[in-house]
Structures are given as structure tokens and as C-alpha cells.
A and B are shown apart, each in its own frame.
Chain A
Amino acid sequence: MRWMWIDRIIELTPRTRMVAIKNVSLAEEHLHDHFAADTATGAAALPVMPACFIIEGMAQTAGILVGHTGGFKEKVVLAKVNKAELARDASPGCTLRYTASLDRFDETGAATSGLVELMSPSHQADWSPIGRIDLMFSHLDRNLAGAEFPKHNFVFSESFRTLLRTSGLSAEF
């Protein structure tokens, strides 16, 4: 079971861009530790989505776009975070929207640029841009070191198929 960091794909323009959303919920256990109340200092709990998971959400959005571009034949892995800038926190009740654009795609890998937006109930349900995340992906079987990996595509496993299907997209590959 893969830890999914997007809830639904809401737009796919093949070879160009993918848009996905993530609803931040207080039912997510990690929010209770990030950040927990500190009895020593008297600081109240401040549950906010960890930035690393926001990066992972963008990586999953952009990674599916890259995988879709290659007909899900390649094992697409995140190779480099070129840029990650986030100006605001995402707290429970907010929705994150990830828009990933494909800048470059070839047999060795791909580069994407991404916009992160936030819809907060306290801001009259409008999307506000809160950051940018640019990524690079590698096609694992075409690595320069010539290392070999299992034949089956363990990247685009059942969790991703479920996400595609529940988002109304074809999961036949």
C-alpha cells in the first residue's frame, strides 16, 4: 500500500499538465505531532501539513503526468527537487491544489514545474498560490550506471490505479 498524498486528479491534459487536489484533515495522525502542544513552554498545538508531504503530493501529481506521457511503461522515480518554495502553511480544513506542467520529457527522464495553491475556509473559498515546486524524474531502467531492477512496474502499482480510476481516468496499462 502506497502512502498517497493526493486525493483526486481533477484535470489531465496529456503530455502537458495534470491538476490534483489534497484535502488536509485532522484525522491524519501525523498532524497531531506536527506540531504537538509543548507543556514545557505552554505553546498550543499547531497542526500543519509538513512541507515534505506537500512536496510528495506534487511529486505524485507530476510523477503520474510523466508516467502517463510514457504510457506507464517506465518506472518513474523522483530524482531531484530543483526548487521548493512554500510561503504559507496548510492547516486542517484546507484544500491543496497541485498543478504540474511537463517542461521536458525524453527516454532518460523528465522535468516538471509546479504550482501549489491553497483554498482555506477562512478566505472565502478562493484559491491562493502559496508556492512552487520544480522536480526532475528519472526513468529507472535507463539509469546511467546500468543498474538493473525488477521487470514489473512497481512504481505505478494498485494505489495509483485506484486513484486514476476514482478520478475518472483510465487505469488500463
Chain B
Amino acid sequence: MNRDEIFSKVRDVLVDALGVDEDEVTPTARLTTDLGAESIDFLDITFKLEQAFGIKIPQGELFPDNAASNPQYVQDGKVTAAGIAEMKKKLPHVDFSAFEKDSRLSEIGNLFTVDVLVRYVERKLAG
């Protein structure tokens, strides 16, 4: 499956899960800020990607798991350098360059764009 085909299926998943229009789902669209995803939608998107691509997505592999409760990784509402290093290790499909400048917890949602999902699926299908 090539990148365009993956993008097309990811777009269908997001249209279904978030009730957005197809043309809103651009590669740079952020799931939370631009497409209105809330926390439960991340679980829904995970389930739907599994169905669409016939893959199994373990908790914490596509989106970060419960990192906020670990005081080593979060201090004063910001993700620490150790936390960012840990997330980079666990989430190699995510680009952290902007987040490293503004690591407020509230910015975690903005790490996830449509393109991040496409990259994740691409890596997953490549095995």
C-alpha cells in the first residue's frame, strides 16, 4: 500500500470518527486543534485504524499512554527533558521539534497531525 492509499484510508477513519469533512483532513491538520478530537476520540481512532488496516495497535504505541501521572516526566504542567526523551523513544513517528520549544502538557495533542498517523501506519505495515 503506497502513501496516498494510506492517507486516503486514514482520512476515511477521521471523517468517520470525528464527523469532519474530507477536505478538512489535510496532512498538516492537527487532530485536536484543527479537527476537534477529544481524548476519547484517540481511542476511537486507534480502534478504527486497526479495523481499516488489519493491524494491532498496543496501548502507548501510537499515542502516549498515561505519562502525565509520572512526576519524573511532568513538572509544573510541562513535560521534562526526560519525559520528552522517553516519548521520542516510544513514538518514533512523531516530530517533537516544536514541542521541545513549548512542552506544556496542553500541547501534547498538537503533536498529532494527520501526517503522523500516516507515518505510523506506514511504519507498521512495513513491519
Instruction: State the A residues within 8 Å of B (CB).
Output: 79-80, 82, 103-104, 106-109, 111, 136, 138, 142-146
Closest to A147 in B: B69
A149 to chain B, nearest CB (A): 14
Contact B50 A146 (CB under 8 A): no
Closest to A146 in B: B69
Contact A144 B44 (CB under 8 A): no
Give the A-B contact count at a CB cut-off of 8 A.
Answer: 37
Contact A104 B39 (CB under 8 A): no
In the bound complex, what is the Cα–Cα distance between A72 and B43 (angstroms)?
21
Contact A80 B44 (CB under 8 A): yes
A160 to chain B, nearest CB (A): 22
Contact B68 A146 (CB under 8 A): yes
Q: Which of B40, B50, B66 contacts A79 (CB 8 A)?
A: B40
In the bound complex, what is the Cα–Cα distance between A79 and B42 (angstroms)?
12
B residues 67-97 near A (Cβ < 8 Å) are 68-69
In the bound complex, what is the Cα–Cα distance between A108 and B50 (angstroms)?
15
Contact B47 A79 (CB under 8 A): no
Contact B39 A145 (CB under 8 A): yes
Contact A144 B39 (CB under 8 A): yes
Produce 1/0 per residue, B38-59, CB < 8 A to A. 0111111001001100000001
Contact B44 A136 (CB under 8 A): yes
In the bound complex, what is the Cα–Cα distance between A132 and B12 (angstroms)?
20
